[in-house]
């Protein structure tokens, strides 16, 4: 009889402790999800920021890039044309010289 | 071609003289602004690169399977054009990308394939220059493979997810931009025709010189 009372007392203590743990554990989670509104994420973290809205120190000037691109294009074209012209002039000069030597050899 | 050389030269000079005025007067693109104007030389230089690569590929095929010496001369000229105009594209692209994307380079499908094709034509020229006897046939094989890669480069932006704008950009250009763009493409094509003619003449001169040296030895 005394033993049964002791078991009942222990079970009751366990149930009370379990109830307290559950209540204390769940209450903060429940109130955070349902009650307190979360502040909205700042715009920069949400995704795209238009380039013209960046701070001035983060903006990249376009003009030097544009000038560099056109300078490279013109230099490459003129450089190549000059190179072909030089090679052609050299070959034509050499053709004339070798032809002259062949003609001179034929005359002898 | 000799008769057409002078008028074509004048036409090319006039077109390239007027192109900067057209580019300056073209409307600004809404999101990219000033840097978008690189596009008017960047895309046409790739068009010429592709044309040079195709000339090299077709001429290489004719040289390999029909033994045409004239085709071989066109193949060298085409490869050199592909390399020079590819260089313009490879430099102007990252200059645009630095502003538009925030990076100079991305190893995505379009950019990587374009670099591989450009390097293939550099390999073609190096092979011709330093490959020794018989290297012209070996180089012709390289030229064929280089040309075969061009459709993959062009369509890569539609097939794979890349950072590069798609091929649909050109057909959807605004009226002020469209005229300027196609004018620049035409100017580059006229220039390419001229350069091709002069470069083939140089190759013919070299062949003639070789024959003269042989007859001098005899």
> In this predicted structure, what is the pLDDT of residue B84?
97
A37 contacts: CB under 8 Å, gap ≥ 6: none
**What's the pLDDT at A42?**
55
Q: What is the pLDDT of residues B34-55, one digit of tens each?
A: 888 999 999 999 999 999 999 9
Residue A29 CB neighbours (<10 A) = 9
Distance between CA atoms of residues A25 and A95, nearest Å: 98
Q: What is the DSSP string of B45-61?
A: HHHHHHHHHHHHHHHHH
- A99 touching B, CB under 8 A? yes
Q: Which residue in B has a C-alpha nearest to residue A69's C-alpha?
A: B92
CB contact under 8 A, A84 and B37: no
Tell me how far apart the alpha carbons of residues A88 and A94 are, in angstroms, rounded to a whole number: 10
User: For chain A, which ranges sit under pLDDT 50?
Assistant: 27-35
State pLDDT tens for residues B15-27: 999 999 999 988 8
A95 reaches B (C-beta below 8 A): yes
Say if A91 is an interface residue toward chain B (CB within 8 Å). yes
> Residue B123: what pLDDT?
96
């Amino acid at each position: 009889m005394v033993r049964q009372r002791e078991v009942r007392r222990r079970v009751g203590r366990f149930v009370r402790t379990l109830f307290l743990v559950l209540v204390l554990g769940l209450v903060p989670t429940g109130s955070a999800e349902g009650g307190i509104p979360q502040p909205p994420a700042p715009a920069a973290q949400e995704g795209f920021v238009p380039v013209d809205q960046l701070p001035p120190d983060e903006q990249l000037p376009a003009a030097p890039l544009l000038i560099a691109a056109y300078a490279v294009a013109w230099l490459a074209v003129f450089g190549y044309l000059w190179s072909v012209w030089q090679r052609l002039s050299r070959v034509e000069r050499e053709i004339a010289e070798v032809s002259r030597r062949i003609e001179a050899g034929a005359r002898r | 071609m000799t008769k057409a050389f002078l008028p074509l030269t004048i036409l090319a000079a006039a077109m390239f003289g007027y192109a900067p005025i057209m580019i300056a007067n073209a409307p600004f693109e809404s999101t990219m602004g000033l840097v978008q104007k690189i596009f008017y030389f960047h895309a046409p230089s790739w068009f010429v690169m592709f044309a040079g690569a195709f000339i090299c590929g077709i001429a290489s095929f004719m040289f390999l399977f029909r033994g045409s010496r004239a085709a071989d001369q066109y193949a060298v000229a085409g490869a050199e054009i592909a390399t020079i105009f590819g260089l313009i594209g490879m430099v102007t692209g990252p200059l645009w990308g630095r502003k538009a994307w925030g990076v100079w380079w991305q190893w995505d499908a379009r950019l990587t394939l374009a670099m591989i094709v450009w390097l293939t034509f550099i390999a073609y020229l190096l092979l011709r220059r330093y490959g020794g006897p018989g290297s012209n046939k070996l180089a012709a094989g390289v030229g064929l493979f280089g040309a075969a890669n061009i459709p993959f480069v062009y369509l890569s932006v539609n097939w794979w997810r890349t950072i590069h704008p798609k091929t649909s950009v050109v057909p959807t250009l605004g009226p002020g931009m469209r005229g300027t763009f196609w004018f620049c493409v035409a100017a580059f094509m006229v220039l390419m025709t001229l350069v091709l003619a002069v470069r083939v003449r140089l190759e013919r001169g070299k062949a003639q010189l070789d024959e003269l040296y042989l007859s001098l030895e005899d």
